[in-house]
Structure 1
Amino acid sequence: MGLVRLEDLPPLPEAPGVYLWKRGEEVLYVGKAKSLRARVRSYFHAEGKARRIAQEATGLDFIATRDEVEALLLEANLIKAHRPPYNVLLKDDKHYPFLKLTREPFPTLLVVRRVEEDGAKYYGPFPEAGALRRIKTLIDRLFPLRKNSGYPMRRRRYPCLNHSMGRCLAPCVGKADPEAYREVVRQVEAVLEGKVDWLLARLEAEMREAARRLEFERAAEIRDQMEALKAFFATSQQAFDPELGDLDFLGLARAGALAVVQLFQVRGGRLLGRISRVVEKEEATDEEILWAFLRDHYLTASPLPPLVLLPFPLEDLSGLEALLHRRAGRRVEVRVPQRGEKARLLEFAEKNARLTLETELKARERRGDHPALKALQDLLALPTRPFRIEAYDVSHLQGQARIFSIAVFEGGKPKRQEYRRMRLRAGNDDYQAMEEGVYRRYTGSLKEMPLPDLLLIDGGLGQVRAAQKALERAGLSLPLVGLAKKEEVLLTPEGREIRLPLTHPALRLLIHLRDEAHQNGLKQHQKERSRELLRVLEGIPGIGEARRRVLLERYGGLKALREAPLEELARLPGMNQKAAEALKAALGEAHPDRA
């Protein structure tokens, strides 16, 4: 029996903190609150996940904190430590790399995977190792920071080769002037913070001063340095409006349990990089997913911009703003723009998140790990995941030659060797045709095929109920659902409509399966049109095998050939004006003699 009564709660303070719902020793959920008392008590008036957590838990622990920021930090640490099943856990657990500018008299630049509280400056995370290597290589080439003297710096007897190449000021042998080295560090910080325009202006001033003093070799070095910086940032970063300044903006795309969150970093009007994370949590809301991403990212990200743009409002953002303020040492505004250039940035982010989500879905389909199967089980309340799904489609050729086609998917993938087609005896009644096709599938020559876990009917409620009637006649009870073409709405035999976004993995799978069944039927019609056309062509003088092959490949059927213009027929490979006129005459469309 869970903790379902308010009187079972321990005394809770009206103070910020973190609470832990527990089942025995297992932590079910970790949450933070401005007021522990109000937040925990709200679970007993809520529905859905919050109510289930309270009913499933057998105990509650809490830790009061001094403020919301401390609660947010503690919540993140406890989630990482316990990985509770009801919390949103970001799927991508890899550690993105950072660049670390060490804290010592003569700092060096290192690539690290973890951010530590050691006083050093961290820049990142870098979502692409290639981008990190390129910027590290650029800095190593252009700025004479020490490279390989270790951390902390070790004294050496002789300078290394980098000093001889002009790429290190050699502090390890006492050759570096501290002020000159600090200036190099300031320039490196400017590059890592995206302040390229500021750095270029400063370098240009230095170049002019060196030329004024007739130090032309030094001026040429600075000129080359500026050109390298301009070339790097021109080719590696997408330009936005320079007036945007420094900001982060986020996009989220969702398909059932699967979601993708992406954060884009703009510095000085240039797009520096993109962080992308995958979340798979059926019960989590979009707000919970976005909040989990923000919490995990901004606990380590550096440097922080003065502005963060969110795709939709979040409840109680004051804790996040307080955390950003504390980490940045200045105010960081969190905003949801409704119009203008900043709103267009959010559209850009959402579009890219959606593309990434589609790529993830396709990758899972190729692996046979199709997320639609679990989604279909939940949507249709099926006892098991529908591994084998059969789709049925009825099509006809100009009101004649009705074909019942079957497409089969197993594990979310087409199994084309089991696709089947049959010619129906039913007349122009679509419902009667569907009933005949389904009944013959389970009582005729195809009855030895494995029974499916789910039937997909191409059509509306009439076709769905006709298919159900056929199953009852065959003595079977199988789950089935219809897919109406125009609105792509799922229909159950009881008349229930299930409307899903087009990105939903279950709907994507069913549309693919429906289209496969439709194409399977079209192939039969194409064969029949080709046979009819071939019979006509074989009786026309001057149209031999080679010309028949060209005409069959180009038109496929008698109707399309009759509608083809004479001039088009004459230009086909192997055809000429005389043969085209003979063909048109044989088809009952004789043309007058050529002028």
Structure 2
Amino acid sequence: MTAAELPVLPTKPGCYLFHAPGGEVIYVGKAVNLRSRVRSYFSATAAQKAQLIRNRAERLEFIVTKSEVEALILEANLIKRFKPHYNVLLKDDKSYPFLKLTREAYPMLLFTRRVLKDGATYFGPYPNPGAVRKVQELVGAIFPLRQNSGVPLQKRKKPCLRFHMGRCLAPCIDNVSEEAYAKVVRQVRAFLEGDVAGTAEQLESEMRAAAARQDFELARLYRDRLQALQRLTGYDSDVTRASEDDLDFLGVAQAGNFAMVQLFQMRRGRVVGRDKRFLTNAEGASPAEILERFMADYYGQAMQVPPLVLVPQEIDLDVWSAFLSERAGKRVELRVPQRGDKVELMGMAERNAHTGLEAELALLERRGEAPGVKELQALVGLESAPYRIEGFDISNLMGTHTVASIVVFEGGRARKSEYRKMRITGLTRPDDFYAMHQAVYRRFTGALADKLPVPDLLLIDGGKGQLSAARRALKDAGLELPLLGLAKKQETIIREGAPEILVPETHPALRLLINIRDEAHRTAVGFNRKQRGAAMTRSVLDDIPGIGPARRDALLARFSSIDELKSAGVDELARIPGMGRVAAEAVVAFFSAFDNERASVLKAPEVRAAETGGAEAG
């Protein structure tokens, strides 16, 4: 699509939708000024993502709104409806769970995913159903709300077991007045809004008042509830709170096509809740765009919005403040903290976002859904996603026993049945470049070339020198394949004729490359150790024709040294169990030839020259 094909755009706020051939919505955006924002996609300095969108788009549709806040809400709904390819998406884009305090004389606390305009009070959203169940259990352990008498309340002849346990006031048998039950409901409401301290203070006040009236049974009930509250929430009335702030603070982490946003809820100076969301389609998106996608989804459903929200990135603060104020019914400030204790809160949120993202990526890898392949294609500019990647590494000890390893990954997963190891020949000193050339050349010209399919990408453990050696080997083998190197210093991705790439270690593409490199290194080092171990345990007897491991062990058990063995005759050797006369003669002949060769080497050069007719005279 070109700028000339754009419709006449107004200068008003609204949303715009890019459509691909066939009508698919590939991107939804919002704008304060539709004309200015859309035309920025067609400028010479447009970002790479904007260029991809305009190149794929066939037509543009726009919707004018009354205000920027209305555009923000509309954008969130359109993204949820169409799930456009180039928009950041919530990976687990499901409705949030809530707790619902029903609207009736004797309210009940319920789990729900639907927020209705039915006069009930909703609390949430919560991050997952498990969190809701835990809060329900906590409320049930502290406050005697009814649980088993239906909505609306159904009368019973006998109360349930919770009444006999002191955990229900049993309105189903008219055991409690509406006023007394309403007092418990107010405590539940305050608790769910985060006022743990206020709830504890009210319970303690009622306990003391009941004790003063000498209503010790009621005082005991209040005491038990207060103790349950302290035990289950960790609240301690003797600890002075350093801050009375009510606020939310958010952290963002991004790795290639994936991102994580974590939100923490602080009420009365205590962190009382957390939500986190794993997002996809984040490649090329700014942290601000990722943050806005999460906020639109979360605060679009949130029932309680605090007066202050801390964000780590500059976004359109005025628009978002207006949106949140509209949701809360009061003034809400949006702020990027610059100093003080609130910067520490942001650091906490950022650290948790990075940790959460790493955990999600590791989970994908364990499930066989390794996310690095497509991200690697985009990161290094490959024509297609590299399904089969082969990793090469060289290992030696002071230049001895040089070996190479070849590991295979398909679809981001190790294919161990196709791993290969080889000894490097022709080396008298350490030379990783020579070894890498030989390993790559033999992989694509020998028997392995027929047994293994051609990979989509080669990963070389090392820098530009190893990469050049691998390229020469491919050229000698008559092949042209994509090559990458991975240098351990700062985990730098090395490309041929292009700048080096440095990305965070959480980036899925780099995680995949590190995994392949480490697997190749582990395999090469293990093979090198095995070769060195075999060399250390090798005996001179292994070189004698006809002497296998069994006969070798029998000879070593009979004689205490090689000199003693060499002095033994054929008859003596033949009497050893398992030897026989032919094997005994082979042993005697081997040592006789060995001694003759050694004596020749020890002779002076002029003597050897005379014996060989001057062949060694030079």
Q: Give the TM-score category using the shorter length.
A: 0.7 to 0.9
Report whether the alignment pairs 1:321 with 2:324. no
Report whether the alignment pairs 1:434 with 2:436. yes
Change in 2 beyond 3 A, CA 1:168/1:159: farther
Q: Report the TM-score when normalising by structure 2.
A: 0.79
Q: Secondary structure at the match of 2:89?
A: coil
How far the C-alpha of 1:535 sits from its partner, in A, is: 5.8
Change in 2 beyond 3 A, CA 1:440/1:55: closer
Distance 2:403 2:177 in 1: 87
Tell me the equivalent position of 2:592.
Answer: none
1:112-150: per-residue Cα shift (whole Å, max 9, x none)? 012223332211122243332232123234334343443
What is the letter of the counterpart of residue 492 of structure 1?
A: R
Distance 1:99 1:367 in 2: 32
How far the C-alpha of 1:276 sits from its partner, in A, is: 1.7
1:157-202: per-residue Cα shift (whole Å, max 9, x none)? 6464355665445556666433333322210111101211111111
Report whether the alignment pairs 1:18 with 2:12. no
1:81-116: per-residue Cα shift (whole Å, max 9, x none)? 232333222111233321011233433211101222
Distance 1:426 1:244 in 2: 72
Report whether the alignment pairs 1:97 with 2:97. yes
Distance 1:327 1:39 in 2: 26
Tell me the equivalent position of 1:284.
Answer: 285
What is the letter of the counterpart of residue 432 of structure 1?
A: Y
Q: Secondary structure at the match of 2:490?
A: coil
Q: Is the 8 A contact 1:240 1:271 kept in 2?
A: no
Distance 2:216 2:67 in 1: 58
Distance 1:344 1:39 in 2: 35
Distance 1:118 1:320 in 2: 27
1:202-252: per-residue Cα shift (whole Å, max 9, x none)? 12111111111111111111111100111110199xx99651632222222
Tell me the equivalent position of 2:189.
Answer: 189
What is the letter of the counterpart of residue 424 of structure 1?
A: T
Q: Is the 8 A contact 2:141 2:228 kept in 1?
A: no
Report whether the alignment pairs 1:304 with 2:302. no
Tell me the equivalent position of 1:5.
Answer: 4
Tell me the equivalent position of 1:248.
Answer: 248
Distance 1:132 1:274 in 2: 12
Distance 1:348 1:60 in 2: 41
Tell me the equivalent position of 1:487.
Answer: 490
- Over aligned residue pairs, what C-alpha RMSD do you find? 2.9
Tell me the equivalent position of 1:35.
Answer: 33
Write the mapping of 1:366-385 to structure 2, written as runs, cut at 5 A: 366-385=366-385
Tell me the equivalent position of 1:156.
Answer: 155
Tell me the equivalent position of 2:604.
Answer: none
Q: Is the 8 A contact 2:259 2:280 kept in 1?
A: yes
Change in 2 beyond 3 A, CA 1:139/1:312: same
Q: Secondary structure at the match of 2:243?
A: helix
Tell me the equivalent position of 1:548.
Answer: none
How far the C-alpha of 1:485 sits from its partner, in A, is: 2.2
How far the C-alpha of 1:471 sits from its partner, in A, is: 0.9
Q: Secondary structure at the match of 2:276?
A: strand
Tell me the equivalent position of 2:221.
Answer: 221
What is the letter of the counterpart of residue 446 of structure 1?
A: L
Q: Is the 8 A contact 1:159 1:170 kept in 2?
A: no
Distance 2:414 2:154 in 1: 66
Tell me the equivalent position of 2:615.
Answer: none
Distance 1:415 1:376 in 2: 19
Tell me the equivalent position of 1:44.
Answer: 42
Change in 2 beyond 3 A, CA 1:516/1:424: farther
Change in 2 beyond 3 A, CA 1:35/1:477: closer
Q: Is the 8 A contact 1:438 1:471 kept in 2?
A: yes
Distance 1:441 1:241 in 2: 67
Change in 2 beyond 3 A, CA 1:471/1:50: closer
Q: Secondary structure at the match of 2:3?
A: coil
Q: Is the 8 A contact 1:250 1:310 kept in 2?
A: yes
Q: Secondary structure at the match of 2:138?
A: helix
Q: Is the 8 A contact 2:247 2:266 kept in 1?
A: yes
Tell me the equivalent position of 2:66.
Answer: 66
Q: Secondary structure at the match of 1:451?
A: coil
Report whether the alignment pairs 1:526 with 2:523. no
Change in 2 beyond 3 A, CA 1:93/1:202: same
Change in 2 beyond 3 A, CA 1:123/1:512: same
Write the mapping of 1:511-550 to structure 2, written as runs, cut at 5 A: 511-534=514-537
Report whether the alignment pairs 1:423 with 2:420. no
Report whether the alignment pairs 1:75 with 2:72. no
Distance 2:389 2:51 in 1: 35
Q: Secondary structure at the match of 1:498?
A: coil
What is the letter of the counterpart of residue 156 of structure 1?
A: K
After TM superposition, the structure 1 stretch with the greater mean CA deviation from structure 2, 287-296 or 358-367, is 358-367
Distance 1:459 1:405 in 2: 14
Tell me the equivalent position of 2:199.
Answer: 199
Q: Is the 8 A contact 2:101 2:109 kept in 1?
A: yes
Distance 1:204 1:379 in 2: 60
Change in 2 beyond 3 A, CA 1:533/1:44: closer
Pick aligned residue for 1:506 from 509, 513, 516: 509
Q: Is there any run of 5+ residues in structure 2 with no aligned partner, and where? A: 542-552, 554-618
After TM superposition, the structure 1 stretch with the greater mean CA deviation from structure 2, 169-178 or 515-524, is 169-178
Q: Secondary structure at the match of 2:90?
A: coil
Distance 1:21 1:528 in 2: 61
What is the letter of the counterpart of residue 407 of structure 1?
A: V
1:38-60: per-residue Cα shift (whole Å, max 9, x none)? 33343333343334444544444
Report whether the alignment pairs 1:351 with 2:351. yes
Whichever of the two has the greater Rg, that structure is: 2
Change in 2 beyond 3 A, CA 1:102/1:68: farther
Change in 2 beyond 3 A, CA 1:519/1:49: closer
Q: How many residues align?
A: 532
1:61-94: per-residue Cα shift (whole Å, max 9, x none)? 4333333332222222222223233322211123
How far the C-alpha of 1:504 sits from its partner, in A, is: 1.4
What is the letter of the counterpart of residue 263 of structure 2?
A: L
Q: Report the TM-score when normalising by structure 1.
A: 0.82
Q: Secondary structure at the match of 1:497?
A: coil
